[in-house]
Amino acid sequence: MADARRAPLKDQTDISGARVLIVEARFYDDIQDALLEGALAELKIAGASHDVLTVPGALEIPAAIAIALDAAAANGRPYDAAIALGCVVRGDTIHFEIVSQESSRGLMDLAVSRKFPLGNGILTVNNEAQAWARARASELNKGGDAARAAIAMLRIKRRLAKA
């Protein structure tokens, strides 16, 4: 039986040639490698090109996306979608709540205010074992899920622009 989360999207609006920005927080390098692997595999299937921008942590992802979107537009090479990848592991302080909530809020604000296709692949987990289960392409593949979300939103945007 096929996994419903990985079923092909029904909307097959062409996005080949789309430019996608991936902004990744490299706080947990090995976990990040797994998230990136999943995202890149989905972009390859969709025929989209990509650029990768690395930031120190999850809190910096929304600002980096905003900066990159403005710079790419100013240079005449706008991005069509973005993917945020990172990992926040719960610790002994409230820092986890601040980082997970504010990075998510920043991404949502960007997507809504700019009407911009964005996939959120920032893991918020209790421990590294949970992070690995979500990051590996052979398991929950949250990097791939974030790429599929960005692709789905880009397809919706393009389809409705033609209507």
First vs last C-alpha separation in the chain: 36
Which tokens hold the place of 38?
A: 């999943």
How do residues 122-147 score in pLDDT, each as one tens digit?
A: 999 999 999 999 999 999 999 999 99
Contact between residue 143 and residue 39 where contact means Cβ atoms under 8 Å apart = yes
How do residues 2-54 score in pLDDT, each as one tens digit?
A: 444 555 556 777 888 899 999 999 989 999 999 999 999 999 999 999 999 99
CATH topology of domain 18-162: Rossmann fold (3.40.50)
DSSP state of 8: P
Cα–Cα–Cα angle for 131, 132, 135, nearest 5°? 85
Per the residue annotation, which of 44, 95, 105, 159 is the catalytic one? 95
Q: State yes or no: is 95 an active-site residue.
A: yes
